[in-house]
């Protein structure tokens, strides 16, 4: 079997060794470069540590921090509940001959709603009154006989037993007259029930029975539903984590203001106050129920309507306010880019508090009147020079040193 020459084998091995050595060196160079790259501080978290200053000028928008009061609100989801809801039933049986209301009408207590055919009850009343008159006549005659018997007994002309019997007959007729009077009163009451009036003031819903139907006192559905809409209540829930703060505020001042907003949370519907706090936390949801009452003067709230509730819990007085857009977050916590007098930026760690709208309360690390970067912060490093093109949401045409802060925080 033929074998390759020794020189050819040696030359091939040397070429292979050189290629392998070059590959190893290339891998070492790549690993070294990667280690060097990843050990460099990254922005924005490492910007405060390096003290590095770039010559690049970055255009930014800034907002001035202010001092003011920050209201603290708790948000919850609620359901509008009528303080009183009444399903109106007929209390007598008969034909519905008149409907005196319109659907959606606002009625007052005592207003006529419907009328049932009163003729059967008028007939019953006549019968009861006639029976009462007859028994009253019998009672009167019995009294006359009793007076005669008593006179004769005094003359010793009749037996005492006959007078006693007449006295018992008078008592019997008196009882009969009382029963007749009760029948008359009941007939008049049934006649009154034929006229159905509003038991409460409120808004009428859709009609459940039409004119011409025979209605019964035992009908389950009723004739109509009235809900009390002024005032009206909202039952809403808040998480159990805020219960201690709620109870502290409730014991200090029970008149806690709440605002009801639509489902989107954009339009305020009504303003009211907390009426009651539940006595237990729902273990299935971890929430506490509260009940608020609203005057509902414009009747914008309807029973069973879903609303968003904002409850005013407290107010931070003279707090330092910053725009939400200025807040940056990193591994070292929350910070902002503060623009100094020489138009360079400095990383400032801060501690934030409550948020309301576009502003946030800064509890420490910031003073009122400082300029904070709200636009272009992703390109910044510690000590970089910036060009302010927008100040407090207003375009800046003059040099930054000539700009004056406005009285409103960035929104």
The model's confidence at residue 407, banded by pLDDT at 50, 70 and 90, is very low
Evaluate if pTM is beyond 0.85.
no
- The pLDDT mean for the chain works out to 84
Closest CA to 376 of 339, 341, 321, 332: 339
Question: Residues of the chain with pLDDT > 70: what percent?
Answer: 87
Q: State the CATH class of domain 74-83+227-317.
A: mainly beta
Question: 195: buried, middle or exposed (CB in 10 Å: 19+, 13-18, 0-12)?
Answer: middle
Q: Is cis: bond before 44, omega within 30 of 0?
A: yes
DSSP letters along 25-64, please?
Answer: HHHHHHHHHHHHHHTS--TTTTHHHH----S-EEEEEEEE
Mean pLDDT (whole number) for 102-109: 92
| Position with higher pLDDT, 106 vs 393 | 106
Q: State the CATH class of domain 118-193.
A: mainly alpha
Domain-by-domain residue ranges, the chain?
52-69+318-402, 74-83+227-317, 86-116+201-224, 118-193
Can you list the alpha helix ranges (DSSP code H) found in 39-159?
Answer: 47-50, 119-154
Mean pLDDT (whole number) for 19-36: 76
- Tokens representing 377? 């912060």
Q: Tell me, what DSSP letter sits at residue 231? A: S
Q: What does the pLDDT read at residue 11?
A: 53
Domain 52-69+318-402 sits in CATH at 2.40.420.20
Which of 51-55, 135-139, 199-203, 290-294 is least confident?
51-55
- Separation CA 334–CA 317 (nearest Å): 22
- Separation CA 208–CA 222 (nearest Å): 7
Do 52-69+318-402 and 74-83+227-317 have matching folds? no
Mean pLDDT (whole number) for 387-395: 82
CA angle in degrees (0–180, nearest 5) for 8-14-19: 130
Spell out the residues 6+ positions from residue 244 whose beta carbon is closer than 8 angstroms to its own. Answer: none
Spatial contact of 271 and 257, defined as CB atoms under 8 Å apart: yes
Q: Is the dihedral of CA 244, 245, 251, 252 positive or negative?
A: positive
Q: What does the pLDDT read at residue 49?
A: 42
The model's confidence at residue 411, banded by pLDDT at 50, 70 and 90, is very low
Q: Does domain 86-116+201-224 have CATH number 2.60.40.10?
A: no
Closest CA to 367 of 327, 318, 408: 318
pLDDT digits (tens, 9 = 90+) for 30-89: 877 776 665 544 444 444 444 444 467 888 888 888 888 888 888 899 999 999 999 999
pLDDT digits (tens, 9 = 90+) for 44-60: 444 444 444 446 788 88
Q: Is cis: bond before 377, omega within 30 of 0?
A: no
Q: What does the pLDDT read at residue 332?
A: 82
- Tokens representing 48? 């405060």
Q: Tell me, what DSSP letter sits at residue 263? A: T
Mean pLDDT (whole number) for 350-365: 84
């Amino acid at each position: 079997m033929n074998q390759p020459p020794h020189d050819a084998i040696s030359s091939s091995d040397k070429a292979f060794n050189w290629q392998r050595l070059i590959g190893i060196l290339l891998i070492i160079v790549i690993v070294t470069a990667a280690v060097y790259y990843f050990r460099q501080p990254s922005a924005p978290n490492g910007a405060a540590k390096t003290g590095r200053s770039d010559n690049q000028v970055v255009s930014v928008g800034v907002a001035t921090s202010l001092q003011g009061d920050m209201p603290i609100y708790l948000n919850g989801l609620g359901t509008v509940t009528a303080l009183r809801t009444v399903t109106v039933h007929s209390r007598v049986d008969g034909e519905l001959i008149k409907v005196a209301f319109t659907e959606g009408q606002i009625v007052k207590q005592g207003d006529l709603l419907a009328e049932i055919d009163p003729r059967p009850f008028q007939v019953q009343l006549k019968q009861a009154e006639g029976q009462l008159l007859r028994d009253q006549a019998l009672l009167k005659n019995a009294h006359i006989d009793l007076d005669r018997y008593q006179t004769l007994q005094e003359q010793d002309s009749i037996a005492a037993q006959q007078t006693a019997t007449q006295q018992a007959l008078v008592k019997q007729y008196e009882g009969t007259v009382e029963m007749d009077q009760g029948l008359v009163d009941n007939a008049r009451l049934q006649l009154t029930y034929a006229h159905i009036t509003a038991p409460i003031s409120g808004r009428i819903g859709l009609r459940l029975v039409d004119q011409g139907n025979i209605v019964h006192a035992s009908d389950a559905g009723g004739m109509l539903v009235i809900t009390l809409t002024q005032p009206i209540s909202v039952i809403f829930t808040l998480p159990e984590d805020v219960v201690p703060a709620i109870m502290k505020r409730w014991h200090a001042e029970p008149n806690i203001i709440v605002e009801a907003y639509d489902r989107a949370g954009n339009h305020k519907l009504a303003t009211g106050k907390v009426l009651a706090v539940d006595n237990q936390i729902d273990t299935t949801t971890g929430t506490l129920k509260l009940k608020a009452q609203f005057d509902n003067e414009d009747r914008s709230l309807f029973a069973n309507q879903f609303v968003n509730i904002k409850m005013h819990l407290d107010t931070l007085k003279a707090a330092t306010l910053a725009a939400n857009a200025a807040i940056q977050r990193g591994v070292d916590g929350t910070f902002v880019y503060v623009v100094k007098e020489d138009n360079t930026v400095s990383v400032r760690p801060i501690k934030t508090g409550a948020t309301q709208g576009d502003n946030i309360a800064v509890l420490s690390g910031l003073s009122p009147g400082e300029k904070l970067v709200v636009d272009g912060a992703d390109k910044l490093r510690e000590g970089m020079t910036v060009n302010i093109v927008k100040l407090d949401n207003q375009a800046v045409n003059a040099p930054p040193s000539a700009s004056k802060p406005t009285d409103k925080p960035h929104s």
